[in-house]
Amino acid sequence: MAGPRNISVSEASRPVLPRHARLKYDETRQVWVILAPERVLAPDEIAVEVLQLCNGERNVGDIADQLAAKYAAPREAILADVIVMLQDLADKGFLTEAREKTS
Amino acid sequence: MSDVLGNPAIPPDASDSLAVLEKQRSTAETFGIPLAVLLEITHRCPLQCPYCSNPVELDRSGKELTTGEWKKVLSELAEIGVLQVHFSGGEPTARKDLVELVKHASDVGLYTNLITSAVLLTRERLSELADAGLCHVQISFQGVEEGLADRVAGYKNGHRKKLEVAKWTRELDLPLTVNAVMHRQNLHQLPDIVQMSVNLDADRLEVANVQYYGWALKNRAALMPTVAQLDECTRIVEEARERLKGRLTIDYVVPDYYALRPKKCMGGWGRQFFNISPAGKVLPCHAAESITGLDFESVRSNHSIAWIWQNSEAFNRYRGTGWMKEPCKSCEFREIDFGGCRCQAFALTGDAANTDPACALSPLHETIFKQAEREAEGETNRFLYRNFAGGTLESENGA
């Protein structure tokens, strides 16, 4: 068994979409969607931007740095918002944490 | 925040950063093309579950769409904006061309889900499916131990095989859903089914109480749970959801017999769902062919799938509210539940335009559901097994 997957999102987390969830641009409806079994979600623009940065390599702190620089906004406020959003996604099973590479 | 596609009970939240897409679309009344389509690629299946969702009149293999026809369907679906396809059946792995179909679906950009009983799969074939781009595997379980599970499925050693395939699924790093169909004879195993799902490292568990149409209606006396069982089921699901938050997602389908309000079946007829039968019929619901007097168009006709969805007589017959009679017609909930399930209304009242008797406002509600309650307390446990011959009654000593 792969062990518990429920994650507690913090500045050090390196979040990534789980394999069953795919972020995709829907050409027909002109919106971004997350595809998962029996679910199609429509993340808003900010969520899309954050999720595109969630590649399992960057940690949440890196993501907040990038967004703070891009929007010239206070990093602490952005970090807090990003953590709340990602935790919500994680609790619903649409976000996981990159597993430690075992080489 | 986000919620299950097609779950109408939760109102949209404007502050929600992850709104359910279908919700936004359906309020626009456009009947835009559905996001997900169920493909019942064959009715052949080695299992004989007495609650099978297939129609009692099964399509024989000679009527099934060819590989070329299914590929054309998949391309067309992707083109008109469908995002997900569920390969289902019958047993989809009974089709020799399944890998080829999954590969084609992936090539045209569709999210692919396999809904399977798993008993025909080998590790090699599952691996080929993964390589073909399969996104998700859903395996049905009939119970938590082989005595009961194999008896319900009418298939020896099925349960053991399912456990093995579930293990391969996770070894191949494919996401796994455990689908558990629940009824009076297996509801006592629910806590163990939750634990089994965790042990199998499933991402998701569907606790799906039997819906009583078709085969299940024929077996209602053997399957109908008691009110006390259902209350306990709900309690177990709620407790497990809280305890396993972030680890195991649990979707819960309640039977509507004991509810006072009917379910918004299929999100409303012709509003957000269609499926394609083995023979290529485009249907508003997988049970729709049980309603006699409706003529369903086929992908083999001259019409496009989009045309059938928008313009065919069968899709428009019960779309919206114009077809309704009383008590639906003037009901304040008519756009909330659209009068419940048309197939159930037809099966229990003889007219699909009547109010679904699951609704307390239906004049038949009391009679039908009192009868169900009596059946639930009864001793009839023998199944009528599903097969192409119209069903076979279980022998006195089981199997």
Q: Which helix (H) or strand (E) holds B367?
A: helix B365-377
Say yes or no for a CB contact (<8 Å) between A41 and B21.
yes
Tokens of B354: 């009547």
Query: Is residue B117 within 8 Å of B179, Cβ to Cβ?
Result: no
E strand residue ranges, B28-95:
36-40, 84-88
State the residue for tokens 């391969």.
Answer: B168
In 3-state terms chain A splits into helix, strand, coil percentages (rounded to 5) of 35, 20, 45
B24 contacts in A (CB within 8 Å)?
42
Rounded to whole angstroms, what are the CA distances from B25 to A60, B76, B225? 32, 21, 36
Looking at the partner chain, which of A4, A35, A42 has a beta carbon nearest the beta carbon of B247?
A4
Q: Which residues face B281 on adjacent strands?
A: B298
Query: Is residue B346 within 8 Å of B55, Cβ to Cβ?
Result: no
Say yes or no for a CB contact (<8 Å) between A40 and B5.
yes
Q: Count chain A–chain B contacts defined by CB atoms under 8 A.
A: 106
Quote the CA–CA distance of B230 and A12 in Å, as a whole number.
43
Query: pLDDT tens, position by position, for chain B (399 residues)?
Result: 233 333 332 333 333 445 455 444 443 344 689 999 999 999 999 999 999 999 888 999 999 999 999 999 999 999 999 999 999 999 999 999 999 999 999 999 999 999 999 999 999 999 999 999 999 999 999 999 999 999 999 999 999 999 999 999 999 989 999 999 999 999 999 999 999 999 999 989 999 999 988 899 999 999 999 999 999 999 999 999 999 987 898 999 887 887 778 988 888 999 989 999 999 999 999 899 989 899 999 999 999 999 999 999 999 999 999 999 999 999 999 999 999 999 999 999 999 999 999 999 999 999 988 888 899 998 889 999 999 999 999 987 655
Q: What 3-state class would DSSP assign to B100?
A: helix
Query: Is residue B352 within 8 Å of B358, Cβ to Cβ?
Result: no
Q: Does B261 touch chain A (CB under 8 A)?
A: no
In 3-state terms chain B splits into helix, strand, coil percentages (rounded to 5) of 35, 15, 50
Quote the CA–CA distance of B162 and A81 in Å, as a whole number.
42
In angstroms, what separates the C-alpha of B65 from chain A's closest C-alpha?
A: 25
Q: How many CA atoms lie within 13 A of A89 on its CB side?
A: 30
Say yes or no for a CB contact (<8 Å) between B81 and A26.
yes
E strand residue ranges, chain B:
18-20, 36-40, 84-88, 111-116, 136-141, 176-182, 204-209, 249-253, 274-276, 282-283, 384-385, 392-393
Mutate to test the interface with A, among B4, B27, B30, B111 (most CBs of A within 10 A): B111
Say yes or no for a CB contact (<8 Å) between A40 and B136.
no
Looking at the partner chain, which of B24, B204, B245 has a beta carbon nearest the beta carbon of A6?
B245
Say yes or no for a CB contact (<8 Å) between B18 and A43.
yes
Say yes or no for a CB contact (<8 Å) between B136 and A20.
yes
